[in-house]
Structure 1
């Protein structure tokens, strides 16, 4: 059974190494568009012909591209790669469909509004609203006001013949971007709300709700958008539940005698984006931080990226990650302009530091950092729950297990604990070769503060620690609960295969984690 699961997971892991989350969503939208054309060609009862879809698609893509780059040129801010195309494809599925006379105008208007929102509906250069949501809400408002030939968003992607393609594509996308928890909470909240509405009002069965609602499209494609959704687990789950409830509650708010606000999908998503923005304001992560950067080698195929922040260092907790972007004019599609790096520097410290590795030919993003072409980057987003438990190092025990560049969040943690007693800390760093040893000065300081630090060279361990006995040798008595009833928290960081295998071994090594799974924290490095 285990070998079968490994074989099934292999292509998914390979795809994750090749595709950033943005590219995974882009590929999913392209496949869904192809499926829509197939359905329209073979299903005589489908409401739209291939010619209709082709016109809408061309208008969405052309209007999105031209407006994005025109507004960016006026403001002298290069747009991010792939973002404009993802927005255009989403609007292709959301906006047209109500009337042949208004479809083209609606798509074009929505695309322009979406492009403008990226630059104008922002807080200190940071997005507030998902651009696709902004485009849909803009069309909703214009249609409500009776302006021009703009119609209400029709969400034709929720047509019954599109259900199976949406399930397949959605499941693949969510698997690739690792966001099943968010999607599950949203779907459960949606189904519970649908059940309550049916009990109170009746009129439709569950199948009709699922077929006619864009629930699956919203869940897989729109809800996980990283820059306009919360970046920590609790707030992400609240966000998912909030959107799920509002989207299906069929509740209206009377604003004035002549205006009533209905919680249609785009309005529900707008409320969700607003909640995420309030969370970012409260956690001081709402602004986009510019860094003037230089890269230098640390070890074999391993580099440090140092950045001097403009306007103050970004606010983060040790162990968190950052989405770093390098927008470029000449990379409209597929040349990724964003990467996720864990902070290496301590909170509030300058310069801000990240670490990354290069295996084989570097990506265009990393190549630009290494050869100096990218001297300015942007911290777009900060998040993650991979942080030390509250009260540590005064109480509790912590075991840090890293492979390769997975050590970076642990270096930030160690630096943040400078001057503290680290006798409750165990750190294990697994290397493929001794030439890849990094941050030895920080490890020595941790040892002098009482931490147990183990560096082991073992190619067979770099892909995961499979043997509980070997894990016991590495972590020693502290990790096994030497301090009586004090809880032990395990942090596992590295490539996905290392994280998955080592996490499974931790559960066998420490039986308490089976009943208390929250004591195991993981951070996977995709490596793209």
Structure 2
């Protein structure tokens, strides 16, 4: 059974899987809202979601044009859907303003709050952190309800399985449960009630499976991911505060993102097409020259984004491993094939190394 699930997951990209899960959550939210199980109407939820998607798409397109980088519409849509699930749907001009600014800030953070063209913070998290301080408007995390939990857990487990990060999510949840239990005992409160609230009435699982596991803002190695999960798990607990200042889930994640960057800085490299070689019918070798010299170790990976107008269900990004040790990379060769004469898809890294 697990082998079949893994086989199905291997046929879909990480971006597309997350996108499908988030769409399912929005759909479930609309159904629950229709039956008055959520404090808003399905129309306001869908309208707010559409607004966020449009703004995120527009801002992402503008910034991609200004910074001359390829766009990833799936990434922008994922950010919009996450915002729709953690911010109450717009029911007044103020809430619509909150939604609009959160979308603008989320997309801006991917390009402006970046080092070596790689964003540091989870876009949705940093957006609601900024709005909390600047607009005094905070995320409600309405997705963290008992009625939404089944879809969150099922979809989340699939995502964590796809990313091979179930261990990190389990450690995060375990740490949060332990810390809450300790605070509950020290405060003399009923532990069952507090744990029930954490498991069923908080965004614990959505946060763990959707937010924490984002590969671009999490550490790349197992040991660092475990430390990352422990740090964020401790800070996630609502009882932790500094005077009158209480931590929130989004702030906990932003602090964790800072740790992740400090221990494992990442960079974005723009590849310029140097030449292409026809290897056979429908088979091409594209040779790219990186915008800067690269150093790497075996086991590391690169995520390639190849923007083209006829992308299929597997998207425009592919993750490829470094196959051998090479101190410096001058050219990168990528094997590309066509599907039905139109769709380009990266298959494998055929050759890497210094060209003379």
TM-score range for the pair, normalised by the shorter chain length: 0.7 to 0.9
Give the CA RMSD over aligned residues: 3.2
Q: How does 1:82-101 map to 2 (within 5 A)?
A: 82-96=74-88, 100=92
Measured in 2, the distance between the counterparts of 1:106 and 1:77 equals: 28
Residue 267 (structure 2) pairs with residue 267 (structure 1): no
How far the C-alpha of 1:218 sits from its partner, in A, is: 0.9
Structure possessing the higher radius of gyration over alpha carbons: 1
Moved more, 193-202 or 347-356: 347-356
How far the C-alpha of 1:231 sits from its partner, in A, is: 1.1
Residue 300 (structure 2) pairs with residue 316 (structure 1): no
Q: How does 1:41-56 map to 2 (within 5 A)?
A: 41-42=34-35, 44-56=36-48
Residue 235 (structure 2) pairs with residue 242 (structure 1): no
How far the C-alpha of 1:134 sits from its partner, in A, is: 1.7
Residue 198 (structure 2) pairs with residue 182 (structure 1): no
Q: Which residue of structure 2 lines up, in the alignment, with residue 401 of structure 1? A: none
Q: Which residue of structure 2 lines up, in the alignment, with residue 292 of structure 1? A: 272
How far the C-alpha of 1:245 sits from its partner, in A, is: 1.1
Measured in 1, the distance between the counterparts of 2:102 and 2:279 equals: 47
How far the C-alpha of 1:230 sits from its partner, in A, is: 1.0
How far the C-alpha of 1:334 sits from its partner, in A, is: 5.8
Structure having greater relative contact order (Cα 8 Å, sep ≥ 6):
2
Equivalent of 1:118 in 94, 110, 117:
110
Residue 25 (structure 2) pairs with residue 32 (structure 1): yes
Equivalent of 1:143 in 125, 135, 144:
135
Relative distance call for 1:362 and 1:251 in structure 2 (3 A) is farther
Residue 207 (structure 2) pairs with residue 215 (structure 1): no
Q: How does 1:393-472 map to 2 (within 5 A)?
A: none
Deviations 1:313-367 (A, max 9, x none): x221023221122346x57996723211122463223334456575965884437
Measured in 2, the distance between the counterparts of 1:333 and 1:121 equals: 31
Q: Which residue of structure 2 lines up, in the alignment, with residue 440 of structure 1? A: none
Equivalent pair of 2:48/2:90 in contact (CA under 8 Å): no
TM-score where L is the length of structure 2: 0.86
Equivalent pair of 2:87/2:99 in contact (CA under 8 Å): yes
Equivalent pair of 1:183/1:220 in contact (CA under 8 Å): yes
TM-score where L is the length of structure 1: 0.60
Moved more, 156-165 or 267-276: 156-165
Deviations 1:162-195 (A, max 9, x none): 1222122222222333321221111111211221
How many residue pairs match? The answer is 350
Equivalent pair of 2:238/2:247 in contact (CA under 8 Å): yes
Unaligned runs of 5+ in 2: none
Deviations 1:3-23 (A, max 9, x none): xx3xx5325413421x11111
How far the C-alpha of 1:157 sits from its partner, in A, is: 0.5
Equivalent pair of 1:338/1:365 in contact (CA under 8 Å): no
Measured in 2, the distance between the counterparts of 1:344 and 1:352 equals: 15
Equivalent pair of 2:311/2:344 in contact (CA under 8 Å): no
Equivalent of 2:7 in 2, 13, 33:
13
